[in-house]
Amino acid sequence: MLVSFLVLSCNKDNQKTNPPVPSSRLVRYELFTNEDFLGEQKIIHFRVQMMNAQKIIFDSLLAPMKIEEISDSAHKIVVLKTVPGNDSSDLKVGFVYEIETVGVAGYYEGFLGKDSFKLIRYAFR
């Protein structure tokens, strides 16, 4: 009985500890306007996107709205998103928008791989 206790005790001492879990990378998207679009009835579609050098890794469509419904900075739309798979490469993050019958445009900023947090504020004009 004493022998098996020593064997178990030795095995326990030889176990490796788990490596630390890397912290998550987080993007905070903020969308608002400083313009007065009262009466602008065209429909706009916004998407928030995140991409690495090879592909889009996150793409989410926000609810369509009339341009006049875009909030001011005191009532901005906020989306928080962790980077899928905690991708540690340099990323591009931003907004794509489409105004019906007008066209598509976008706004992007870089998110360096060494950084764990990115705030992207977009004031639509």
Nearest to 81 by CA among 70, 91, 72: 91
The pLDDT assigned to 9 comes to 46
Percent of the chain, pLDDT > 90? 79
pLDDT at 10 over 70: no
Q: In angstroms, rounded to a whole number, what is the distance separating the alpha carbons of residues 121 and 33?
A: 10
Contacts with 64 (C-beta within 8 Å, 6 or more apart), sequence order: 43, 44, 45
Question: In CATH, what number does 24-124 get?
Answer: 2.60.40
Q: Does pTM surpass 0.75?
A: yes
Domain boundaries, the chain: 24-124
What is residue 23's three-state secondary structure? Answer: coil
The pLDDT assigned to 21 comes to 43
